[in-house]
Structure 1
Amino acid sequence: MGGLGAPRALLASLAGLLLACGGQETLDDAVLDARPPEQTSLDALAVDPGSRDTAAKDARDADKALPGADTQLLFGGWPWPAKTPAVGLALEVENGVGTPLRVQKGATFFINQIDIRSFVTATRDQGLRNLIAQSDFGGLGWLGVRQVDQESVGAPGPYTRRRYYRDAAWMNLPSHFIVEPVDSRGRLTGLPILLNAGTEHQRRAGLDDFFIRRFRGIQTATGCATPDDCSTSTSFEEEAILELRNAYEHAQRQTLTLRSDTRALRLRWSLRPAAPYEIPVEQVVDGRYTYGFRIGVEALTPPRPDGTYAPGTEISFQLTLRDGAGNRLHPQGYLPPYNQVAPDGTDSGVQYYRAFFDATATYYRRKHRERMLMTQIIGPAQHIQPIRSIVPLEAFLDPAVDEQVIATPERDGVFAQFATLPFANVLFGGAFVDPSLWNLPNTDTWQFKLPDNAQPGTYLVTVKGRRAWLGEDLPATTTLEIQVGTRQRTQPKLTTGPCTSCHSKGGELGTVLHANDNRAACAGCHAPLAFELEGPIFVRTHFIHSRSNRFDAPLQQCSSCHLTKESIQRTSKAACLSCHKSYPDSHVAQFGPIESMYVGGGAESFQQCTGACHTRHPGSGL
């Protein structure tokens, strides 16, 4: 957007959109009333060089606190984006009401996340009928909506069943958002920005503005007698969810610098032209912290003189959570009690696991809001592979066990251990056994014990977490390498890639998900849990890419990601049915019906079916 021509073109486009969309304010109210008195047309909003000094003086008189020494003043005193790095804002709306937003005064922002949710409750199973009739999403157009997946959790019962719906008309219509900074009277205080939401069926051609785009209808039934029988349930929630995350690079260049009289962001959605959302904004000055998020991890137990650890050694590790300027977000040696953090975090932005309050579901529902703080060790690197041994719920509840061993060399061909922070016996023990555990202070230190038969090589210690502070919702991951039994560094042998052919320009692995671009460091945390069997990374990758319209290669073409023929020849329910939605009747008779949309069945889903069948995949390219 160089010079004045581009801003004028953008404003003209926005003017046309505002006229077409209507809303609570007409264009005259929203734009023309914000002009200096001498301006009488839209053309006058493009300040010519001769009047720029006068406009700047008027703006300084009206607003002494315009941010940034490099800020240019255009459009009657509206601030042009400063040269300082912009911060990604996360906007939220629930049942038509914008979640109040506190931001750091003087910062420059782009929109990195939009979460809009609408829900109603019912006592009978009526699909999405009540949502369509009663919610603020009701008038969007639901023709064509259909159930595409279903999953139940809660064994041995009672069960919670979730049904997922797609293809409603509104999900397949191109739409856009306009974000307008406004004052207490609803008048513009800066340039609006235009964001293209695309459609459910739009591919990855870069024609929209967000790498992750999810439009959903969901029905949740609780108290079901069996995974499939909810006839006795009297508790149903019907919801519509829109998730836009991870702005592409070109969208990040559309920025907002809020004037001191900005009191809200008005969020106009082209599918709801007469009813814009309003998100209250409070600008604060917080000298204790800055935007950004860093995780540090160090080994407190020193290695041997040669720099290696011996098999059987118990190693203490400590994390440090910091903001972008390096300020500590917690005292050394201490993490706050769970009840002081969940569900909304601390003043410093520290977050813990919060799915107890806001249920998540891989791909379909708000997984980014889970915000687990977690650590793992896996190795040796040359033997890293998916873990298929199931971690029972009891392992999370045992008060004597803080760190869970999830893979052993004998059973899994690799060693792995993980720990949630706070420890799982506090997180899940407080939820299901003793609520007082959530009042206890926690530690930033933990221990991983190498097995006595630990094979020599490089072991990866990873910590991942998420910080939500003054409008920024940011993941971070860091990995520390330690040497066990040898000084020779060993490397993983990955059988998939390259992810960068799709994950780029704002959707890099180092930005999305956990902000982790070291794929070898995923398997240690991503093991199948008894209450979340879809944990393994191969299950999640298959499931997400088979459901997402972002992935535009033929699904049968395994060579799009797999590098070797051998890498697609370990067949199991979990491997096959995380991508396929059905299998032949002969398989149903032999292996049972499909019971899980993620892995096909239960614990047996990770066992290898046979070494004699499925040595080839039609159309695989391998």
Structure 2
Amino acid sequence: MIRSTFVRSVLCALLVPTLSCNLLDVNDNEDVSGRGARVFDPYQSSASGAIRLSLQQFNGCAILPNGSAVSKGTLNLPGYPDLCPDMAAADPTSARTAPTGTLRLLVGTRYFLNQLSLSEIVLNKHTSTTDFTDAVRWMKNESRFRNLDWGDLGKVSDTWTFSTGIEGFSQDAWTREVLFDNARWRRVTDDTFTVEILDADGETPRMTPVVYSRADFLGDSAFAGHSRLAWRLETVQAPQFPGDTAVHPLPVLTGQPASPPAFRTMVKMEMVGSANPFKSFEAPFIPGPALLKLTWSQLPDEPFLFPIELVTPEGVAPTCTNAEGQPVVCGFGVDPRFKFSTPSNGKGFYEPGESFRLFLDMRDGDGNQMLPDGVLPSGKDMLADKSNGLLYPTQATYFSLLERDSVPGYIVAGPLQNLKVRSDPQAKAPYWSADAESIGLVDELATLSAFPGVFSSTWTTRYTVDLPKDAEPGTYVALVKSHRYFLGERTAKTNAYFLQVGQAEPTTYPNAVGNCQLCHRGVLSLDNLRHGLGVDHVEACKTCHQRDSDLVSRFQQGIHQLHNASPRFTQNKADCTVCHLTRESAVRPSHNVCATCHPSVHGDEYFSTQFSAKGEPNRFGNCAQTCHAQTTPRGHILPEN
């Protein structure tokens, strides 16, 4: 049963989820400015009115979130390839193999489209670093999207980013990405996407078609990691001066394989985050092979095909365990839980310098235990569909599908009152945090090539945390994140658990930023986006997205960049009070944060800082302490205190 708060919030989202939305119930605690509701999760997987459906295609084949290509099985689909990209290969764009994956939907279950990702990528086809004519010509004339209206396409950015995912290499690697946009097909706002389920013959309908519009989805921009028209130069050294377009290969280190530069050209159309879960459909009750056909109104004669298998609950193995310890069919959703070892002093809090244990208890959305006690499945199990849907990152998700959200992990940090953004990576952090640890894989991408043995290993669910001897007293947070794909539903969940250190009295977050819930409401609340972390823990995001180096983008940069570039965020971009609750949190300008709105204010004056781990000045340094000390931005609306 969908709760009334869910209904009201979704109706509001349909009216455009912005601060100007006419909130229908002024007593709903989601309407309160500041931190918002302490507990609000309108999406409850199996208990919801419908299940989020994820559909992905890569180079003509349906792809599962674990990287497996979907086989058409016994379906007679002339338009669907017999061979699909080998997502385990170093270059899946050229290596093709017989697909083995199965996209299964549960009969009698209502689904709503929550992710649609359609992409085509070619590798090492366009190698010029100065003339992108051939890359653009491929997008317009040769790609799967050639029949779209490409008029007015132009280059919108040319940026360098530090590459952190090169496993087995200790040297720094960089990626140059040239983004294109503003093609006429990108500016269409009233196009539609029709979902149909057809019989095995590919013609007989099994359901009434459901029509989605672009306005039914929250995110589709490149800055949010979704749609992108791009040319990329990957795995190279940094440029040596502004305007340097030469390719500087990484040196080959002793005992390590060579990693040559890669040239990637892509067209990716992706929409994520349904604003209208009521626009749903029911998987037909006839089990067996079927076809899901998606027709885009801008390509009416070129539908995207997804072979599916309709299964009954009896056809799904009972691989979860209920409260009585009996095997049961797993439910939808994911709910990672932490249990703590008992503090040694008997006072209910840990002492500075004490070590304690965390015990991971992985549950589905119905509370069933997903895994044998003490063991997490291997990456090999994940690809073989033997992980109950738990997802780990692979080379395919990182480098081919360009998705960076699938890393499960945990971190402990605190005390809460000190969780403030750090400007200078050379300064002591205002709070303590353990190193963020991946759950399931030792080293994020230690998967198929560099460490094949690791990919076959199972993992513990018991972790040790060593508190520093000078740990400041207060409340600390343990965050645990997991990702899952199960029977068509792709979901992520991050849970926060609290522990006391040095004292029994609780402390709280700084309450310096907030208001997220005024836009992110109902099915679009933060509980249901990205990592699934609720709005009341937004100040804990920095514990993972805070670096000791200037090389990697930090939270304060990414959050400004994402919202400033989003057409959905229609507020005055100079009104800092929308998100900042205190003046102090809004008057720490830095080169990179300000550049999210003002990219050319200083031109190339600070070019070298983006390639220095801890430069002087560093690109996240507090400019208000130097040049802007007396002139905080006059065109911005700041909190009064």
TM over 0.5: yes
In 2, the alpha carbon distance for the partners of 1:412 and 1:529 equals 9
- Alignment partner for residue 52 of structure 2, among 81, 88, 92? 88
Name 2:280's counterpart in structure 1.
Answer: 254
Higher helix share: 1
SS at match of 1:621: coil
Distance verdict in 2 for CA 1:533–1:178, change over 3 Å = same
Aligned-pair Cα RMSD in Å? 3.1
How big is the shift at 1:603? 8.9
Query: Could you give the per-residue CA deviations for residues 548-586 of structure 1, whole angstroms, max 9, x where no partner exists?
Result: 11111222222221223222222322332344312235x
* Deviations, residues 100-159 of structure 1 (Å, cap 9, x unaligned): 421223322111111111223414333332222211111112222222232243495664
Q: Which amino acid aligns with 1:168?
A: A
| Residue 315 of structure 1: how far off its partner (Å) | 1.3
1:510 match: secondary structure: helix
Displacement, 1:226?
4.0
Gaps of 5+ in 1: 1-81, 198-207, 392-409
Within 5 Å, give how 1:62-461 maps onto structure 2: 85-99=49-63, 100=70, 101-121=103-123, 122-125=125-128, 126=132, 127-149=135-157, 150-154=159-163, 159-174=174-189, 175-185=191-201, 186-197=203-214, 208-214=215-221, 215-222=227-234, 224=236, 226-227=238-239, 228-231=244-247, 235-248=262-275, 250-260=276-286, 263-284=290-311, 285-286=315-316, 287=318, 288-302=329-343, 304-341=345-382, 346-354=386-394, 356-359=395-398, 366-367=402-403, 370-387=405-422, 411-422=428-439, 425-427=442-444, 434-461=451-478
Q: Is 1:545 aligned to 2:547, yes or no?
A: no
CA distance in 2, matches of 1:613, 1:531: 20
> Once the 2 structures are TM-superposed, how far is the Cα of residue 231 of structure 1 from its aligned partner?
5.0
Query: Using a 3 Å threshold, how does the CA distance of structure 1 residues 301 and 348 change in structure 2: closer, same or farther?
Result: same
Tell me how far apart the structure 2 counterparts of residues 601 and 171 of structure 1 sit (CA, whole Å): 38
Task: Give the aligned partner of residue 3 of structure 1.
Answer: none
Alpha-carbon deviation of 1:223?
Answer: 5.1
Aligned to 1:16: none
Aligned pairs for 1:13-32 within 5 A: none
Contact 1:311–1:484, Cα closer than 8 Å, also in 2: yes
Instruction: Name the counterpart of 1:521.
Output: 540
* Matched residue SS, 1:138: coil
Q: Deviations over 1:325-375 (max 9, x none)?
A: 222222111112334336x86440111233x323379xxx854x6311111
Instruction: Establish whether residue 556 from structure 1 lines up as the match of residue 564 from structure 2.
Output: no
Instruction: Kindly indicate whether the alpha-carbon contact (under 8 Å) linking 1:383 and 1:492 is maintained by their aligned counterparts in 2.
Output: yes
Counterpart for residue 13 of structure 1: none
Which range moves more in the overlay, 259-268 or 427-436? 427-436
Q: Distance in 1 between matches of 2:419 and 2:113?
A: 37
Deviation, structure 1 residue 302? 3.5
1:154·1:531 contact (CA, 8 Å) conserved in 2? no
Partner of 2:621: 607
Alpha-carbon distance change, 491 to 335 in structure 1, aligned in 2, over 3 angstroms = same
Matches of 1:87 and 1:168, distance apart in 2? 33
Tell me, in whole angstroms, the C-alpha distance in 2 between the residues paired with 1:618 and 1:382.
30
Q: Is the contact made by 2:381 and 2:387 (CA closer than 8 Å) also made in structure 1?
A: no
Cα distance in structure 1, aligned partners of 2:447 and 2:60: 33
Residue 310 of structure 1: CA displacement? 0.6
Distance of 2:218 and 2:422 partners within structure 1 = 29
Matched letter for residue 398 of structure 2? A
- Quick check: 2:473–2:501 contact (8 Å CA) kept in 1? yes
Q: Which moved more, 1:466-475 or 1:378-387?
A: 378-387
The whole-number CA distance in structure 1 between the counterparts of 2:136 and 2:398 is 19
CA displacement at 1:443 relative to structure 2: 0.9
User: Helix, strand or coil for the counterpart of 1:298?
Assistant: strand
More off after superposition, 553-562 vs 571-580: 571-580
Q: 2:595 aligns with which of 577, 583, 590?
A: 577
Query: Is residue 619 from structure 1 mapped to residue 631 from structure 2 by the alignment?
Result: no
1:107 touches 1:257 (CA, 8 Å); kept in 2?
yes
Deviations 1:462-486 (A, max 9, x none): 1011111121101111111111111
Match of residue 42 from structure 2: none
CA distance change for structure 1 residues 115 and 428 in 2, over 3 Å: closer, same or farther? closer
SS at match of 2:571: coil
Q: Distance in 2 between matches of 1:83 and 1:611?
A: 52
> 283-292 vs 523-532, which deviates more?
523-532
In 2, Cα distance between equivalents of 1:481 and 1:315: 13
Amino acid of the residue matched to residue 607 of structure 1?
G
Deviation at 1:545, TM superposition (A): 0.9
Superposed displacement of residue 527, structure 1: 1.5
Number of residues paired by the alignment? Answer: 501
Alignment-mate amino acid for residue 609 of structure 1: C
Deviation at 1:182, TM superposition (A): 0.8
State the secondary structure of the residue aligned to 1:331: coil
Deviation of 1:506 (Å) = 2.1
Q: Is the 8 Å Cα contact of residues 190 and 259 (structure 1) preserved in structure 2?
A: no
Work out whether residues 387 and 523 of structure 1, in 8 Å CA contact, stay in contact via their aligned partners in 2. Answer: no
Provide Cα deviations, 1:69-98, integer angstroms capped at 9, x if missing partner: xxxxxxxxxxxxx99731111011223333
Amino acid of the structure 1 residue aligned with 2:110: T
Deviations 1:194-221 (A, max 9, x none): 1001xxxxxxxxxx10122233202122
Gap regions ≥5 residues in structure 2: 1-45, 64-69, 71-102, 165-170, 222-226, 250-260, 319-328
In the alignment, the residues of structure 2 paired with residue 499 and residue 522 of structure 1 have an alpha-carbon distance, to the nearest angstrom, of 13
Q: Which amino acid aligns with 2:220?
A: R
Tell me by how many angstroms 1:593 deviates. 5.7
Matched residues in 2 for 1:428 and 1:371: separation? 11
Output the CA distance in 2 between the equivalents of 1:158 and 1:491.
39
Q: Quick one: structure 1 residues 595 and 232, their matched pair in 2 at CA, closer, same or farther if it must change by over 3 Å?
A: closer
Aligned residues with identical type, % of pairs: 25
| Residue pair 1:582, 1:594 contacting (<8 A) in 2 also | no
1:488 CA displacement: 1.0
Assess if the C-alpha contact under 8 Å between 1:477 and 1:515 holds in 2: yes
CA distance in 1, matches of 2:471, 2:219: 40
Give the aligned residue type for 1:151: W
Distance in structure 2 (CA, Å) of the matches to 1:360 and 1:338:
17
State the AA in 1 paired with 2:418. Answer: H
Q: 1:510 offset after TM fit, Å?
A: 1.0
Q: Secondary structure at the match of 1:555?
A: coil
More relative contact order, 1 or 2 (CA 8 Å, 6+ apart): 2
Deviates more, 1:599-608 or 1:154-163: 599-608
